[in-house]
Amino acid sequence: MIFCLFLCVLLYSQHAHCSHICPKNCICEQAASLQCFRVQSVPPLISNNLKKIHLGYNHLKELKVIFNFSGLPGLEEVVLSSGGIEQIDANVFRSHVLLRTLDLQKNYLRQLPRGLPSGLEILHLGHNRIHSLQESLLEGLEKLRVLNLQNNQISTLRANTLTLLQKLECLYLDGNQIESIHGAPRLPFLNLLSMGSNRISSISSTFFSSLQLLKTFDLSSNRFTKVPHDLPRSLVHLNLDSNQIRSLRNRDMSQLHNLITLSVSSNRLVSVDGGLRLPNLSVCELAGNQLRILPGRLTSKLEKLDCRQNNIQEVTIQQLAGMKLLKHLFLENNSIQNFEANALRNCIQLTSLALEQNLLSAIPHGLPETLVRLDLKGNNIDTIHERELKPLRRLQVLNLRNNKLSTLPALNLPKLKLLYLDGNPWQCSCELLEVKKALLAQDVEIRPDFCSKPVHESLDEWRAYVLAQDICEKQTRDLLLERKTDHIDNEEYDDYDL
């Protein structure tokens, strides 16, 4: 007995009896937190002061009301994710009035547990086998703020069922099999609604009538052919990626005055109404569509415009007029041949310009001096003039891969850090080697190295390299000598005249 008491004092100086010793395969933190590994049942509990239990990634199979979690009046958080749980007895957690977070993700549950405590605020039930929501199982959860039901087997959503959750702020229903939605959820505090990766093709306009605080709405990877009607005015972020929408029309979106992020990538867009009345739009993502014309006159607050993987053929001043806050413009994988001179003259904060995989034959004229990254990979550029890049004093990354360049001018780019040049038919002349030497002296990283292969196949690489250097040095000496001779001749001629 004396030894037992001594051992307890050593392990838990703040506690008085041996029952506080941490169970096997568990980690205990000051008797308030318990985390266990490779257990098949809830272990003996170390203290009635326990606040957090983490039993994720175990093999529990079922939870019984008789012995599990009894005698823990202060329990606030229970994590039982990835536990192989198939069944939970009714009222297992009901007596835990202080329980705020319950995580039951990645198990084999077919329905919500019965008899959950009324004080619960966060409930994670994602990645189970739940196929329906029953109103009776949600009764009493008046303080629930977050409900996660993603990746289950729900096929029909009866929105009225959720009305019991009057304090709900975040609802995740992604990755189910929802095809139809009935009724309207009366959830006055709902802030986030995520319903991506379902089979929804339409939503009644009445669905949004009571969602007056909704800010984030995700409907990506569904079957919509047009933007839903009467979206809440409160929306700040709207995701409609991977649907079948063909146009963005003012009449469907004119009420979204608070919208900051709009993503309609990977749809079938062929048209976007000019001057969409979205005065606060900052990010517009339209990649992977069928647009032939770059959307113009969007908003003066736009900071990012992504129109990759479309069929855009030209860029004009008019399209980008007024976009003084634009920082990122992504136009790669289009069919751009014509880039109007000074088309970006109003984009005085542009830092990233992506024009890879287009049909450009020259670097666009009048690029803004604010550019930090310029991507021109995979075009038809065969010549670069020093004046085209000279204004880009802040440029750090320049990608010229897979063009038709055979030589480079001197690149007077003081901030340049990274230069991509592979995939071009370089003619490794002495002039080009001088340009390369100057870049390396400036600590520019060239990926990959170029003009470093033997000039004579019969010679080894080192001898070939030395030979090439000797040839270039000789040409340089000859040029300097010629200039010096010309200078002396001119002096003699001047003396003769005198």
Hey, what are 247's tokens?
A: 């146009």
Q: What's the sign of the alpha-carbon dihedral 64, 69, 70, 73?
A: negative
> How far is it, in rounded angstroms, from Cα 48 to Cα 20?
9
377 pLDDT band, cuts 50/70/90, is very high
Mode of pairing for the β-strands spanning 314-315 and 328-330: unpaired
Alpha-carbon dihedral angle through residues 7, 10, 15, 20, given to the nearest 10 degrees: -50
Reported as a single tens digit per residue, the pLDDT across 2-18 is 333 223 333 333 333 33
Are 292 and 316 contacting, i.e. CB atoms less than 8 angstroms apart? no
Are 218 and 195 contacting, i.e. CB atoms less than 8 angstroms apart? yes
Q: What is the pLDDT of residue 465?
A: 54
Average pLDDT taken over every residue of the chain: 87
Task: Give the residue with greater pLDDT, 485 vs 376.
Answer: 376
Kindly state the percentage of the chain with pLDDT values over 70: 85
Reported as a single tens digit per residue, the pLDDT across 320-360 is 988 999 999 999 999 999 999 999 999 999 999 999 999 99
CA atoms within 13 A on the CB side of 352: 12
Reported as a single tens digit per residue, the pLDDT across 29-87 is 876 888 888 788 777 766 678 899 998 888 888 887 655 676 788 899 999 999 899 99
Cα–Cα distance list, 76 to 112, 117, 161 (Å): 19, 11, 27
Residue type, 147: L
Q: Compute how many other C-beta atoms are within 10 angstroms of the C-beta atom of residue 191.
A: 17
Average the pLDDT over 244-251 and give the result: 95
Place of tokens 């009764």: 139
What residues contact 110, with CB distance under 8 A and at least 6 apart? 128, 129, 130, 131
Hey, what are 378's tokens?
A: 């995979």
Average the pLDDT over 298-319 and give the result: 95
3-state secondary structure 351-384: CEEECCCCCCCCCCCCCCCCCCEEECCCCCCCCC
Cα–Cα distance list, 439 to 395, 411, 414, 473 (Å): 14, 8, 10, 18
Q: Compute how many other C-beta atoms are within 10 angstroms of the C-beta atom of residue 302.
A: 24
Nearest to 338 by CA among 322, 309, 318: 318
Q: What is the pLDDT of residue 17?
A: 39
Q: What is the pLDDT of residue 298?
A: 86
495 pLDDT band, cuts 50/70/90, is very low
Alpha-carbon dihedral angle through residues 283, 287, 292, 294, given to the nearest 10 degrees: 20
Farthest CA pair distance, the chain: 121
pLDDT surpasses 60 at 251: yes
Average the pLDDT over 446-466 and give the result: 63
Q: What is the pLDDT of residue 301?
A: 94
Q: Compute how many other C-beta atoms are within 10 angstroms of the C-beta atom of residue 210.
A: 17
Are 266 and 247 contacting, i.e. CB atoms less than 8 angstroms apart? no
Which string of DSSP letters, residue by residue, matches 459-498?
S-HHHHHHHHHHHHHHHHHHHHHHHHHHHHHHHHHHHHH-
> How far is it, in rounded angstroms, from Cα 119 to Cα 99?
6
Alpha-carbon dihedral angle through residues 433, 438, 444, 446, given to the nearest 10 degrees: 0
Reported as a single tens digit per residue, the pLDDT across 417-446 is 999 999 999 999 889 999 999 999 999 999
Average the pLDDT over 282-304 and give the result: 94
pLDDT surpasses 70 at 493: no
Are 117 and 97 contacting, i.e. CB atoms less than 8 angstroms apart? yes
Are 336 and 355 contacting, i.e. CB atoms less than 8 angstroms apart? yes
> How far is it, in rounded angstroms, from Cα 272 to Cα 497?
75
pLDDT surpasses 80 at 365: yes
Reported as a single tens digit per residue, the pLDDT across 471-490 is 676 665 655 455 555 554 55
Burial degree of 10 (CB within 10 A; 0-12, 13-18, 19+): exposed
What number of H helices and E strands is found in the chain?
6, 28
> How far is it, in rounded angstroms, from Cα 45 to Cα 34?
9
Are 445 and 417 contacting, i.e. CB atoms less than 8 angstroms apart? yes
> How far is it, in rounded angstroms, from Cα 95 to Cα 92?
8
Q: How far apart are the first and last CA of the chain?
A: 121
CA atoms within 13 A on the CB side of 84: 9
Nearest to 296 by CA among 356, 245, 347: 347
Hey, what are 382's tokens?
A: 């065969």
Q: What is the pLDDT of residue 413?
A: 96
> How far is it, in rounded angstroms, from Cα 114 to Cα 109?
12
DSSP helix/strand/coil, 130: coil
> How far is it, in rounded angstroms, from Cα 165 to Cα 78?
21
> How far is it, in rounded angstroms, from Cα 239 to Cα 56?
32
